[in-house]
Amino acid sequence: MLDISSRVRVHVETLLAAQNDMGVCDAFEQYALVGKPDAMNAPHPPKVAGIDSTVPAPAHTVAPVAAGSAPAAPPNPPAPPGAVLQDRLAGWVSDLTTLHELTERLTRTSALDEALQELLRAGAALVGARRGLVVLEPGDGLGPDTTIGLGLARADLGHIETVPRSALSYGRILDGLPGGEDGIAEPDLFAEEGLDPRHREVAARLGYAASYALPLTPESAGSPGSADRLGAVAWLYDEPAEPVERQRHLVGLYVRYAAEHLARLLELERTRAAMATMSDELLPARLPRVAGVQLAARHRTGPRGGGDWYDALPLPDAALGLAVGSVTGAGPSAVAAMGRLRASLRAYAVMEGEDPVAVLSDLELLLRLTEPARSATALFGYCEPDARKITLAGAGHSPPLLIGQRRTEFVETSVSAPLGMLACWEAPSVEILAEPGETVLLYTDGLLHRTGETTDRAFTRLHAAAAGAPRALRCDPGALADHVLRSVLPDGLDAADGAEDVVLLAVRFE
């Protein structure tokens, strides 16, 4: 925070109300008003003389005339004693306003890479640099590790990485060498004695002559150490330069706030990665190769991890078992329940897969006995590739979509409740007879939910996306599934970290 002597009292109640959410708003409390604002205009020589601020004066503050110097002609009337104080406080308020805007922009970032880019842009503005880079390298060794540049191409970052780490300012910070706790300034690299030859070569090639680096260490880490450090950030100057004391103070405040925000995003990123890995490990590593059909699957896991799954397993008599489903809930418990349910369905499919109703009935009984607090939707189909036929049973699940050159239609399935909702589940099965070249698309409800529209509108959008697929894409189930995802979920709604799990299983008959 910006430190201001307790003897300085200024009225800033209006600014407090406007900036109460500011990342550095605690500094305002140090100069909240006691008297009236008009008191600033009255001469108070003792208070002016007693200012002892740890924050350097703003650049636009009027400097006092040195004693004994010749006055300029014509001489200006002396400024009131309170004018210097007003000017200095105006500079501090301006700094706080700038920090408020920059920290708010940083807070609005929700992805780690986006936050790192914002950190580089804001820091460059504060220290007066044009380029920079941030190295994310958590000290606990759990990753993720990444390097992002501002005004530096990927090849430029590669050149910098060829410099010995101990010769770089941010490298010394990452290695925990002494002197990097408060930042490292290199005001003139080429005038520095003992500069590593490779560093000199790379700096000349990329055209930077000075740098300023700071560690990224959250204050919430307690006693900061190398294990708590998230990484380091460095800004590069085209000419010999270094930030003045005022700039260092402001960028230091900003970087400390940014480190806290990055620590939260890093933890979220690790959680998402762990949930995605767990979900992927519980799903088929690869789809089977069965004569007469082509298979393709697409899976998007939500940030908290969900219970959507798919499966395709070879069965006796050259048949194929197809399944998609979804378990209620989210998080590790839902992912674990999904894994248990999918494994059980595979066992029932091997024993009685030719009767999909019996498979789902057994699965429903297991769910009620072992997961009484959960319900699930599911589709299971017994596919006979030679006959181009699928015998299908569904439990509260959305109907499959049949896509061909001459028709695109939803398969009529019987209305049924999800598994675990009734004392005894049972619903009749249906048969799908496909023509050569047609594709049956199985999917989970997350595909519809991610659109943010009503169910009827979401179904209409799905049908239009499938019907509008180019003829060339219909020969490849993977390309067709990608087209459906892009069309139904545009503008990034198909991203892997969306709110809902999405599963598509495409089965094309040759």
Q: Which residues pair with 505 in a beta bridge?
A: 297, 442
Which pLDDT does position 490 carry in this prediction?
Answer: 80
Residue 23 confidence (pLDDT) above 70: no
Per residue in 150-203, pLDDT (tens digit) is: 999 999 999 999 999 999 999 999 988 877 788 999 999 999 888 999 999 999
Which pLDDT does position 1 carry in this prediction?
Answer: 38
In angstroms, the CA 92 to CA 495 distance is 43
DSSP string, 236-297: EESSS----HHHHHHHHHHHHHHHHHHHHHHHHHHHHHHHHHHHHHHS-SSPPP-TTEEEEE
What are the φ and ψ backbone dihedral angles of 386, each rounded to 5 degrees?
A: -65, -35
Residue 108 confidence (pLDDT) above 70: yes
Which pLDDT does position 400 carry in this prediction?
Answer: 95
Residue 105 confidence (pLDDT) above 90: yes
Question: Of 478, 480, 484, 436, which Cα lies nearest the Cα of 463?
Answer: 484
End-to-end CA distance of the chain: 69
Residue pair 44/82 in contact (Cβ under 8 Å)? The answer is: yes
Residue pair 61/84 in contact (Cβ under 8 Å)? The answer is: yes
The DSSP bridge pattern shows strands 401-403 and 408-410 to be antiparallel
Per residue in 440-485, pLDDT (tens digit) is: 999 999 899 888 899 999 999 999 999 999 999 999 999 999 999 9
What structural domains and CATH numbers belong to the chain? 1-57+85-108 (no CATH), 109-275 (3.30.450.40), 283-509 (3.60.40.10)
In angstroms, the CA 102 to CA 129 distance is 16
Per residue in 271-315, pLDDT (tens digit) is: 878 877 777 778 888 899 999 999 999 988 776 667 899 999 999
Per-residue buried b or exposed e for 50-62, using 16+ beta carbons within 10 Å of the residue's own CB = eeeeebbbbeeee
329-to-291, 445, 454 alpha-carbon distances in Å: 37, 13, 21
Per-residue buried b or exposed e for 389-407, using 16+ beta carbons within 10 Å of the residue's own CB = bbbbbbbbbbbbbbbbeee
The structure tokens 């080429």 sit at: 190
Instruction: Give the confidence band of 26 by pLDDT, cuts at 50, 70, 90.
Output: very low
Mean per-residue pLDDT over the chain, rounded: 82
Tokens representing 313 are 């397993």
Return the amino acid letter for 323: A
